[in-house]
Amino acid sequence: MLAQNIVHFSRVLRAAGMQVGVDRVLDALQAVECVGLDRRGDVHAALSAVMLDRHDQQPLFDAAFDAFWKDPKLLERMMLLLLPKVQGRGQKAAPRINRLEEALAPPREARAREQSAPVPQEIRFDAAMSFSERERLAHADFESMTVQEFEAAQRIAAQLAPPVSPVRQRRKESSPRGAIDLRASLAAMPRQPDALQIRRMRARMQRPPIVVLLDISGSMERYARLFLHYAHGLTRRHVHVHTFTFGTRLTPITRQLRHRDPDVAMRLAADAMPDWKGGTRIAAALDEFNRRWARRTLAGNAAVLLVTDGLDRDEAHESARTLDRCAAELRRHAHEVVWLNPLLRYAGFEPRAAGVRALLPHVDRMLPMHNLASLADLARHLREAAPRIR
Amino acid sequence: MSSPPPASPQALLPGSIDEVVAALAAQRYLCDRRLATALFLSLRMGRPLFLEGEPGVGKTELAKVLAAALDTKLLRLQCYEGLDVAQTAYEWNVARQMLEIRIAEAGHQGSGELLASLYRRELLIERPLLSALTQERSPVLLIDELDRADEPFEAFLLEVLGESQISIPELGTVRASAPPIVVITSNRTREIHDALKRRCLYHWLEFPSLQQELDIVRLKAPLASERLSAEVVRFVQRMRGMELFKSPGVAETIDWANALVALNAMRLDPQTVHDTLGVLLKYQDDIARMRSGEAQRLIDELQVP
């Protein structure tokens, strides 16, 4: 009876999106047997110790537990009502996947075939376009592209090089050159006793984490859309990318972007952000990032890519002061803050807006990002910076 | 490894949640029933306890107290970036090995014998993880601030935590004679991998409630007057609700109470608070904010009831 209830409970949690494997169910059984069923608080503490692994799951767990303790059947009925909504997290089988539609539509047959072959995609795509076409696409402003061009640009953006270069780690790895690795050399001796082989090692190089803070307000729409694809490409290839979007509020979308399929990832990300194409409150977003996320994401020499045009909705004097403070705080936590500003496409860009003026002193550099060429240049620009010791 | 069969560790462990609470209280550590339950289960099921929470809520302290309560050894592994097997588990004594080779050369020893003698147990230097597996009585193994170590180290921990064993290629697998009681702490400066968390029992340590924190301060700062303790705790509890950059932990509360006692304060007054804020807050922005009137406001609020 107890086992049945726990299995049932774990299924409810799983339906609500928590990862509760069979091993956890067995643990839960053992745990409840250990503490006994006499006190509700004990059972709650025991089950949460076994079944949770992140603090933010606690509220969901508590709600489920409360309902379950009262009446398991009631909970099941509630979950059934909720189920279509809850399953929305992983809409793999949802019918409206862009690529599927494209693949079925006859006029675009040729391109659909290209897309269905996952790995050699880039090469074939390049072959399909003449050099001059690619050249033009690289320098065309995202704002002025046609729909097809924009789609092509999105696919290219997802494959551009990461904007940070590897930095030296404390951990060592074996290499043909470098300091002598006494341990490994000695270990190699018994295998080939007649030849002395000196093994060497050097510090491992690894790309530092990247944190992307992406402005998704109305004025940034196209750039943000494209940058999301860029961020998705980075996330798929380079593990340590944390992506946040901000308009009127800050939304972490790192987990959504981990999805392999770009369409699904974009859809999940879009579902997560409630403020797409709204106004911007940069100061509030930076402030929340500093408070809630900076310590968790900026460890290990992280670089922050701040993607915004710096046009704040509330242009009041007070707001500029807050922005100044928050940007300074961000600068102190990050190894490097790089501002990617699409407005730099205008040759005569001058930092007039209060928001821009407040941000500018606290970023290490400001770079344009209005076309593919500028995105591709990012890597080069950031690599040129000599590693600074702070 | 061969070692005498240990006295059953189960016999020494607390038999109920209440006993856990009592055993920790005897070591002057007050914990709520939720934490006691998690700890009890971790002892009972032989699973590592994974503690997360804000700095200064007593994560590390719990491991120390647990070792004292169970009257067993505490092995501590402070994590940092670049930590590797040689620093955490074991290392061959390479200098000794070189010496052995020289001796063998001088004595014209065969290479087969030499090989066997190069990788024998005496030449193995034990680091905390390995020594946690070779104790006669289950020790408490504290892996502190795991979030500071890098990810490859987590992967290495999986074997130790899951199976209580370490594989040494040259020697074989070392199994625990008495499985260690493992406490892992993290300040959440990054997310720990799910594979590791899955092998642990998870507990999020909250800031204590008003009453609980008051009990803690009474216990840890016994010289503070009753009135001062109450004001200190209420002041700090209100501060935590203020969206500061870094809220003060319990450790800071205790430090502050002791600092005020050292200054002979009998109650909170604006000037003393102003002068001692550095004990409580560690960010200049927070301190500046408190000094610009917020501290005065909190003190006024405390006087009302």
Q: Is B277 within 8 Å of B295 (Cβ atoms)?
A: yes
Cβ–Cβ below 8 Å for B38 and A45:
yes
| pLDDT reported for residue A79 | 56
The minimal CB distance from B194 to the residues A30, A53, A190 is found for A53
Per CB-CB distance under 8 Å, the chain B contacts of A53 are 50, 194, 197-198, 200, 202
Q: Which two tokens stand for residue B245?
A: 């950059």
φ, ψ dihedrals at B79, nearest 5° = -90, 150
Burial, A9: exposed, middle or buried (Cβ in 10 Å; 0-12, 13-18, 19+)? buried
Which residues contact residue A277 at a Cβ distance below 8 angstroms, ignoring those fewer than 6 apart? A216, A217, A218, A221, A247
Q: What is the pLDDT of residue A385?
A: 53
How many Å lie between the alpha carbon of A122 and the closest alpha carbon of chain B? 31
Nearest to A156 by CA among A183, A180, A128: A128
Best residue of A20, A34, A51, A53 to probe chain B, by most B CBs closer than 10 Å: A53
Following DSSP, what letter does each residue of A290-345 receive, concatenated?
IIIIHHHH-TTTPEEEEE-----S---HHHHHHHHHHHHHHHHHSSEEEEE-GGGG
Q: ∠B94-B112-B176 over CA atoms, to 5°?
A: 55
Tens digits of per-residue pLDDT, B76-89? 999 988 788 888 89
Residues with Cβ < 8 Å from A200, sequence gap 6 or more?
Answer: A174, A175, A176, A177, A178, A179, A180, A181
- Residue B43 has what pLDDT? 92
Nearest CA in chain A to B200: A50
Task: Identify all chain B residues contacting A29, using CB atoms and an 8 Å cutoff.
Answer: none
Query: What integer pLDDT is reported at residue A71 of this predicted model?
Result: 66
Residues B59 and B249 sit within 8 Å (Cβ to Cβ): no
Residue of A nearest to B169 (CA): A187
Can you tell me whether residue B125 is helix, strand or coil? strand
B94: chain A residues, CB-CB within 8 Å: 182-183, 186
Beta carbons of A45 and B191 less than 8 Å apart: no
Range from A66-70, A234-238, B220-224 that averages highest in pLDDT: B220-224
Beta carbons of A388 and A344 less than 8 angstroms apart: no
Which of the 8 DSSP states describes residue B121?
G
Model confidence at A17: pLDDT above 70: yes
- pLDDT value of residue A175: 86
pLDDT digits (tens, 9 = 90+) for A174-224: 888 888 888 888 877 777 767 778 889 988 887 888 899 998 888 888 888
Q: Which residues on chain A are in Cβ contact (under 8 Å) with B240?
A: none
Q: What is the pLDDT of residue A113?
A: 42
B81 within 8 A of A300, measured Cβ to Cβ: yes
Exposure letters A354-384 (e unless 16+ CB within 10 A, then b): bbbebbeebbbebbbbbbbebbebbeeebee
Q: How far is residue A114 from each of residues A105, A178, A232, measured CA to CA in Å?
A: 14, 45, 20
Least confident of A120-124, A273-277, B142-146, B188-192: A120-124
pLDDT tens digits along A332-348: 888 888 888 888 777 66
Q: What is the pLDDT of residue A144?
A: 67
From CA B73, how far away is CA B141, in angstroms rounded?
A: 8
CA distance B67 to chain A (A): 21
The Cα–Cα gap between A95 and A104 comes to 12
Asked whether residue A73 carries a pLDDT value surpassing 70, the answer given is: no
Q: Which of the pair, B223 or A169, is modelled with greater confidence? A: B223
What is the token pair recorded at A89?
A: 């997290």
Nearest to A375 by CA among A262, A247, A207, A226: A226
* CA dihedral (B168, B173, B179, B181) positive or negative: positive
d(CA A140, CA A130): 15
Least confident of A97-101, B47-51, B172-176: A97-101
Report the C-alpha gap between B176 and B163 in whole angstroms: 9
Size of interface A-B (CB pairs under 8 A): 103
Q: What is the pLDDT of residues B107-166, one digit of tens each?
A: 877 777 777 788 888 889 999 999 999 999 999 999 999 988 887 788 888 888 888 899
Question: Between the ranges A17-21, A55-59, B114-118, B203-207, where is the mean pLDDT highest?
Answer: B203-207
* pLDDT cut 90: percent of chain B above it: 42
CA A41 to chain centre: 37
The conformation of residue A161, written as its DSSP 8-state character, comes to: P
Please give the residue that has the higher pLDDT: either B197 or A120: B197
Chain B contact probe: residue of A182, A255, A295, A333 with most B CBs at under 10 A: A295
Structure tokens at A87: 């399953």
β-pair partners for A336 = A303
* Amino acid occupying residue A252: P
pLDDT tens, residue by residue, B7-36: 444 446 788 899 999 999 999 999 889 999
* B40: chain A residues, CB-CB within 8 Å: 34-35
Q: Which residues of A touch B86 (CB under 8 A)?
A: 183
- Residue B259 banded pLDDT, cuts 50, 70, 90: very high
Contact A172 B84 (CB under 8 A): yes
Chain A residues touching chain B at CB-CB below 8 Å = 19, 21, 23-24, 27, 30-31, 34-35, 41-42, 44-46, 48-50, 52-55, 58, 169-172, 182-183, 186-187, 190, 193, 290-291, 295-297, 299-300, 325, 329
CB contact (8 A) between residue B44 and residue A34: yes
More confident residue, A77 or B74: B74
pLDDT of residue B56: 86
Our CA-based measurement puts residue B32 at a distance from the nearest CA of chain A, in whole angstroms, of 11
pLDDT of residue B38: 94
Q: Is the ipTM of this complex over 0.90?
A: no
SS3 string of chain B? CCCCCCCCHHHHCCCCHHHHHHHHHHCCCCCCHHHHHHHHHHHHHCCCEEEEECCCCCHHHHHHHHHHHCCCCEEEEECCCCCCHHHHCEEECHHHHHHHHHHHHHHCCCHHHHHHHHCCHHHEEECHHHHHHCCCCCCEEEEECHHHCCHHHHHHHHHHHHHCEEEECCCEEEECCCCCEEEEEECCCCCCCHHHHHCCEEEEECCCCHHHHHHHHHHHCCCCCHHHHHHHHHHHHHHHCCCCCCCCCHHHHHHHHHHHHHCCCCCCCHHHHHHHHHHHCCCHHHHHHHHHHHHHHHHHHHHCC
Q: Which two tokens stand for residue A365?
A: 């550099």
CA-based nearest residue in chain A for residue B17: A35
Distance, in Å, from the CA atom of A67 to the CA atom of A281, rounded to the nearest integer, reads 38
Q: Which of B13, B45, B88, B240 to mutate to test the interface with A (most CBs of A within 10 A)?
A: B45
Question: What is the rounded CA–CA span in Å between residue A228 and residue A307?
Answer: 11
pLDDT band at A114 (very low <50, low <70, confident <90, very high): very low
Chain B residues with beta carbon closer than 8 angstroms to that of A325: 285
Q: For residue range B218-229, list pLDDT tens digits in order.
A: 999 999 999 999
DSSP secondary structure code for residue A289 in this structure: I
* Chain A residues with beta carbon closer than 8 angstroms to that of B288: none
Confidence band, pLDDT 50/70/90 cuts, at residue A127: very low
The dihedral through the CA atoms of A88, A92, A93, A99 has a sign that is positive
Mutate to test the interface with B, among A37, A47, A55 (most CBs of B within 10 A): A55
Question: CATH homologous superfamily for B9-81+132-205?
Answer: P-loop containing nucleotide triphosphate hydrolases (3.40.50.300)
If you search the block for the tokens 């899951």, which residue do you land on? B162
Instruction: Give the right CATH number for A210-384 from 3.10.20.740, 3.40.50.410, 3.40.1410.10, 3.40.50.300.
Output: 3.40.50.410
Nearest CA in chain B to A56: B204
Interface-testing mutation among A54, A297, A332, with chain B (most B C-beta atoms within 10 A): A54
For B81, which of A44, A54, A170 is closest by C-beta distance? A170
Closest residue, chain A, to B83 (C-alpha): A171
Contacts of B242 (CB under 8 A, 6+ apart): B294
Tell if the CB–CB gap between B202 and A19 is shorter than 8 Å: no
For residue B5, what is the DSSP state?
P
Residue corresponding to tokens 């050159």: A177
Residue A201 pairs in a beta bridge with A174
A chain contacts of residue B197, beta-carbon cutoff 8 Å:
53
Minimum Cα–Cα distance from A289: chain B residue? B245
A49 contacts B37? CB cut-off 8 A: yes
Phi, psi dihedral angles at B168 (to 5 degrees): -110, 115
* pLDDT tens per residue, range A189-200: 777 767 778 889
Identity of the residue in B40, B82, B197 whose CB atom sits nearest the CB atom of A35: B40
Show residues of chain A in contact with B187, CB under 8 Å: 295
Decide if pLDDT at A390 tops 70: no
pLDDT-based confidence at B64, cuts 50/70/90? very high
What's the mean pLDDT when you consider all of chain B?
86
**What pLDDT sits at residue A130?**
53
Contact B45 A27 (CB under 8 A): yes
Position A89 scores a pLDDT of 41
Residues pairing with A305 in the sheet? A212, A338
CA quadruple B297, B299, B300, B302: dihedral sign: positive
CB contact under 8 A, B45 and A30: yes
Beta-strand relationship, B201-205 and B49-53: parallel
pLDDT of residue A22: 87
Give the mean pLDDT of chain A: 75
Contact B198 A21 (CB under 8 A): yes
Contact B296, B283 (CB under 8 A): no
Nearest CA in chain A to B35: A45
A245 with A307: CB under 8 angstroms? no
Contacts of A215 (CB under 8 A, 6+ apart): A224, A245, A246, A247, A280, A282, A307, A308, A309
| Residue B290 pLDDT level (bands cut at 50, 70, 90) | confident
